[in-house]
Structure 1
Amino acid sequence: MGASGSDTLLIHPNDPATALALLTRLPIKARFERSAQAAWAYPLAGAVLASLASLPMLAALWLGLPDLIAAVIFVAAMVILSGAMHEDGLADTADGLWGGWDKARRLEIMKDSHIGAYGVIALCLSLALRCLAVATLLNAEWAAAYLISVAMLSRAAMPLVMTALPHARADGLSHAQGRVPRKTALAGLTVATAFAYLMISWMALPLAGLCFVCAALCAATARVKIGGQTGDILGATQQVSEISLLIALSALMG
């Protein structure tokens, strides 16, 4: 089947490899003709990342290191494996949306590689909240299952924003991928919720609802501030969703 025929499919066997190549620094060979349609597989990329990051975390716990140190190791591994892609998006979004006074200036700031005060604050808060929340979850049996579920659901939030908003600029990674079909975004959320349910039972359902709310809030903010979405907005959406899900899990299990 040619590329034009594969574009009509909701799910394609090559989509997970495409998602891994886009969202990680793993040496994955992939074809990018279906970049937009492959967005349903973003949660699968999250599952791979969290599974790999859990290995050094579990080793740290086995060696008797404190929970907080193990949590820092997990978060650091996630950042390294993803190339800090989402953290970079969060910092650029914080600088742009709150450092600019109009759409053009906000987009200009977001494209600038330099980081400002808002970006530094956002990164510090993100890392601190994630490390502390992960540390609270490590007392639970099957802690890795909770972390994998969060990684999947938070990455399901990105396609929801990609289908809800037009592109804010005519270039960049997000624009190159194209507009994500609504059925693709819903398929991603369904896949993430189903896998999370298998791992953490009923808690997957309210977490999926929270994921949807986070995506909606991020999309609404981006629409007001810049009239659409960019790759940075998607990274910020993932970070906001991940932090919210980790805090919610900590509250549910606390």
Structure 2
Amino acid sequence: MIEPNDRAELSPIDRSAPSLDASDVRAFLMAHPDFVINDADLLNQIMPARDEGRNVVDMQQFVIARLQGKVRMLRDIQSDLIEASSLNSLAREQVHAAALSMLDAPNFDALMEYITLPDGLARTLGLASASICIEVTGEVSRAETIGMRLLENGGVDRMMGGSDPWRLTANVQGSPSLYGERASHVFSEALVRLDFSRVTPPGLLALGGIDPEQFHPEQAADLLEFLARIVERCVRLWLDLPPRA
């Protein structure tokens, strides 16, 4: 049984609430333009019929257009996500295949040939060119015979433009000092630092893209870092180098 006090509490009208006029309602709706559109029940109550007269504003077409626009936007987002997922999956498979090929190299020369020759790492990753660069010291004369490219002292920092671990750049003209005769085919690049050991000079993994947007600054670099760490470990293993500092 409902007591009198309970009836007062259930009353839909709160006598103590401040009164609202049309200007208050209008101000609220102007500040919250999606309030009516996002409330299906409210919209159903206030939606004017299409045959209520020529002076009635027909909101139906407006609402339908808004909803259609949102559907198109969601479809575009879904399409972009699917495309990005497919590209990331493809890149992951390529990097994993490259890592396995480097780990399977029967000797150091075979490893370097796979990394630096056009039908090796570059082909696996769909690139124009790939190379390993190392700064010049008195200990690296053999590097030129196995495909390593030599940089002057401090050349890694100069190429990287600072101390960042990687650098991804779109719309570039490939440098002959990095890519040799394949430089003219390079239009974007990924540069990743290589730290083989505490007794060797700094190095660089240079990957030259065929497409101007194949590498770009907004791109994630986790797979490239993984690839560089595999290169470091393989070189360290074959040359019997001590660990990094």
Q: TM-score by structure 1 length? A: 0.27
More helix by share: 1
Name the one with the larger strand percent. Answer: 2
Larger radius of gyration: 2
TM-score by length of 2: 0.27
